Amino acid sequence: MSSQDWLPLFRTIASEVRASVTPLAGSPAGREVVGAGAGGDQTIYLDQIAEDIVVRHLEEAYRRGLRFTLISEELGERDFGGRPLVLADPVDGSYNAKSGLPYYAVVLAATEGDQFRDVTFGYVQNLVTGDEFCAARGGGAFRNGRRLHPEPASFDGGSIPLAQLDAPTGVEPRDRASAILKRAEKIRQLGSAALNLCHTAAGGIALQVTPAPVRAFDLAAPLRILWEAGGVASDFDGRPIEEVSVRLDSRTTLLASVTPAIHRYALQLLGAAVA
Ligand SMILES: [Mg+2]
């Protein structure tokens, strides 16, 4: 199965997840805690509904002859007769979904191995708007079927037009980012790691800033999209992240932009060695 062949299956899954999850967003039923996921977070009802849809479609694909191993945020790993790995975060941005904040996504990836660089196809759909981002390795990145050719963010060499911060509660990670945030004209903290990186790929977010380690699993699909759009990503200290594991127990910091000059500038601000 070539990487592009995943698109129809992932799109079908996303469309059904969207139809089922969006009406539950912000509702008491949707946010009821039903268990704990393999990724370590609480599983709420709308996560469970979404994962059930993902698993049902993959079971049907298996019966049609497809072979793979699923790693999903809630259930963990399940062998469907071989490789590649299929990574599924049925709802990324669950906190937004349960709060009724309209910014959350289904995230799917196919990967030959368990490092970021091995991801052959990444797919992210905003479950509120239906906005779809996808990329096959070596094939460019697409938003709603149109190739991403981002205008390089206007960068004057001294200020970052818009920085998107992912930093958990606690002063220290935000302190780590402060040298960058002081130079940002606008700051957002939107709440879906996958959508944030897709909008970094599309240029709306000039710089993604993740100073404390987050789960790498959530980043696998959108990093392929960012890289295929011509973007750059490193960890917060400027080290390459291509060999970071995509598995549920792996974590990484992140600094990403579609504009290499902004990424370099951010590393300079942090006083880190420029990669
Ligand atoms: Mg999730």
How many folded domains does the chain comprise?
2
Same-domain pairing of 193 and 138? no
- Among 147, 168, 191, give the residue marking a domain's end: 147
CA of 8 to the centre of ligand 1 (A): 22
End of a domain among 147, 179, 198? 147
Question: Per the domain annotation, does 127 fall within a domain?
Answer: yes
| Residue 136 forms part of a structural domain | yes
Residues 129 and 72 in one domain: yes
Asked if 131 and 189 sit in the same domain, the reply is: no
Q: What is the pTM of this model?
A: 0.95
* pLDDT of res. 247: 95
Question: pLDDT per position in the chain (275 positions), as tens?
Answer: 777 689 999 999 999 999 999 999 999 999 999 988 888 888 899 999 999 999 999 999 999 999 999 999 888 999 999 999 999 999 999 999 999 999 999 999 999 999 999 999 999 999 999 999 999 999 999 999 999 986 666 788 889 999 999 987 777 878 889 999 999 999 999 999 999 999 999 999 999 999 999 999 999 999 999 999 999 999 999 999 999 999 999 999 999 999 999 999 999 999 853 44
Q: How far is the CA of 262 from the centre of ligand 1 (A)?
A: 29
Full domain range(s) for residue 13: 3-147
CA atoms lying within 13 Å on the CB side of residue 257 = 23
Does 49 fall in a domain?
Answer: yes
* CA 74 / ligand 1 centre spacing (Å): 8
- How far apart are the C-alpha atoms of 67 and 81, rounded to whole Å? 5
How high is the pLDDT of residue 71? 97
Question: Cα 36 to chain center, whole Å?
Answer: 21
- For residue 209, the CA-to-ligand 1 centroid distance in Å is 20
Contact status, residue 238 vs residue 275, Cβ threshold 8 Å: yes
Note whether 39 and 132 are same-domain residues: yes
Separation of alpha carbons 83 and 86, rounded Å: 8
Ligand 1 midpoint to CA 176 (Å): 26
Amino acid, single-letter form, for residue 212 = A
Judge if 178 and 122 occupy the same domain. Answer: no
Question: HEC profile for the chain?
Answer: CCHHHHHHHHHHHHHHHHHHHHHHCCCCCCCCEEEECCCCCEEEHHHHHHHHHHHHHHHHHHHCCCCEEEEECCCEEEEEEEEEEEEEEEEECHHHHHHCCCCCEEEEEEECCCEHHHEEEEEEEECCCCCEEEEECCCCEEECCEECCCCCCCCCCCCEEEEEECCCCCHHHHHHCHHHHCCEEEEECCCCHHHHHHHHHCCCCCEEEEEEEEEHHHHHHHHHHHHHCCCEEECCCCCCCCCCECCCCCEEEEEEECCHHHHHHHHHHHCCCCC
Say whether both 115 and 177 belong to one domain: no
Same domain, 74 and 169: no
> Are 10 and 143 in a shared domain?
yes
Residue in the structure block whose two tokens are 């205008």? 151
> Do 100 and 166 sit in the same domain of this protein?
no
What does the pLDDT read at residue 273?
39
Do both 121 and 200 map to the same domain? Answer: no
Give the orientation angle of helix 6-21 with respect to helix 45-63, to 10 degrees.
150
Burial of 185 (0-12, 13-18, 19+ CB in 10 A): exposed
- Residue 155 located in a structural domain: no
From residue 101, alpha-carbon distances to 96, 98, 107, 249 in Å are 5, 8, 18, 27
According to the model, what pLDDT value does residue 275 have?
A: 43
Does residue 50 sit within a domain?
Answer: yes
Ligand 1 centre to CA of 156 (Å) is 37
Last residue within a domain, chosen from 123, 147, 171: 147
Query: Is 75 a domain residue?
Result: yes
Whether 29 and 91 map to the same domain: the answer is yes
Q: Examine residue 114 and state whether it is found in any structural domain, yes or no.
A: yes
> Does 245 fall in a domain?
yes
CATH number for the domain that contains residue 59: 3.30.540.10
Q: Six-digit token pair at 61? A: 């694909």
Q: Are residues 136 and 223 in the same domain?
A: no
Q: How far apart are CA 217 and CA 167, in angstroms?
A: 17
47 Cα to the center of ligand 1, angstroms: 7
